[in-house]
Amino acid sequence: MSELIITAALTGAEVTKEQQPNLPISPEEIAQVALECYEAGAAIVHVHARLPDGSPTQDLQVYREIKERVEAICPVIFQPSTGGAVWHSAEERLQPVLLDPEMATLSTGTVNFGRDVFSNPQDFVEEAARLMQERGVKPEFEIFETGMIASALYLVRQGLAAEPLHFNFVLGVPGAMPASVRNLSFLVDSIPRGATWTVSGIGRHETTLALAAIAMGGHVRVGFEDNIYLHRGVLAESSAQLVARIARIAREVGREIASPARAREILGLRPKTREMTEKKAEGG
C-alpha cells in the first residue's frame, strides 16, 4: 500500500469567522496555516481565496499572493479551487489556473448544495479541462455524484484529460451523495485501474471516511473547508490539528505519510520546465 497523501482544505468558500474564529482569511494567514499543515503531514493544500472582509473571491492577484507566500515557506503542492462560490462566473472560477499550479480542482457535473446549485455545465467543464491541459495543470476531479465520474472519463475520450487520473470523492454535502463507506466503495470501484483517489467527508463524516480511506489504500482530505470540529461540539484549533490526527492514526496502523515529493510521484505530476514557463509568459 502506497504512502498516504493528506490534503489540507484550508478555507473553503462558505465557512465564516463567526462559525470558526480560527479560519484563515488573509494571504499571510493562509500561508502560515499551509506551513503548519505541511509540518503536521499534509502534502497538498487546497485553497479558496478570501477578501479582507472574509468573502470568497477568485481574483487572480489574491491567488497569486497566496501561492507565492505558500511556495516561499514550504514545499507543499498548491492546489487552487476552480469551484469558487456558487455565484462566481466561469471566467472568475478559472483565473487561478492562469498561475500554472501543479494541480487544480475540476468538478465535472452540476449538483445541489443545500438550497444552492453548484453549476458545472458541460461547456464549462470542457473549457476548464482544455485550459488545464494547455497549461500543464493536473485536474483533481471533484466527484459529488456518480455521474461525474462518467463525465471525467468522457474528457479522457475527447483528449481533454490524460491518465493517470486523480479523483476526490466529496461525500455528505446536503443535496449530493450521502457520506457512507458503502457509497465510497462504490465510487472507488467505478474509476479506472491505476487512478488515484482521495475522500473528503463533510462535517461529522470527515474522520469516519478518512479511516476507511486509510484502510482501503486511498488518500484523505481534511480541513476547515469540510469540517470545523475536532470532536462533537469542540471547535478545532486549526486545520493542522485535523491533519495531525489523521497522520497519527495512519502511522499507528502502519500507513506512512507521503511527503510532497513522494505525493508528486504517486500522482504523476509533471515538473514544469523553465522553457514551458517562459513560453506561457510570452503568450505562446
Q: Supply the pLDDT for residue 276.
A: 43
Count of beta carbons in the 10 Å neighbourhood of residue 175: 14
Residue 16: all three cell numbers together: 465564516
HSE value, Cβ hemisphere, 13 Å, CA-based, for 61: 1
Listed in sequence order, the residues at least 6 apart from 160 whose beta carbon sits closer than 8 Å to its beta carbon are 126, 129, 130, 133
Do residues 132 and 106 lie in contact, with contact meaning Cβ atoms separated by under 8 Å? yes
Domains of the chain, first to last:
6-281 (3.20.20.70)
Do residues 212 and 199 lie in contact, with contact meaning Cβ atoms separated by under 8 Å? yes
Count of beta carbons in the 10 Å neighbourhood of residue 114: 12
Q: Supply the pLDDT for residue 284.
A: 41
Q: How far apart are CA 124 and CA 130, in angstroms?
A: 10
Supply the pTM of this predicted model.
Answer: 0.94
Do residues 152 and 181 lie in contact, with contact meaning Cβ atoms separated by under 8 Å? no
Q: Supply the pLDDT for residue 282.
A: 41
**Which 8-state DSSP code applies to residue 99?**
G
Q: Supply the pLDDT for residue 53.
A: 96
Q: Supply the pLDDT for residue 1.
A: 76
What residues of the chain score a pLDDT lower than 70? Answer: 271-284
Q: Which residues pair with 104 in a beta bridge?
A: 139
**CA pseudo-torsion sign 275, 47, 170, 220:** positive
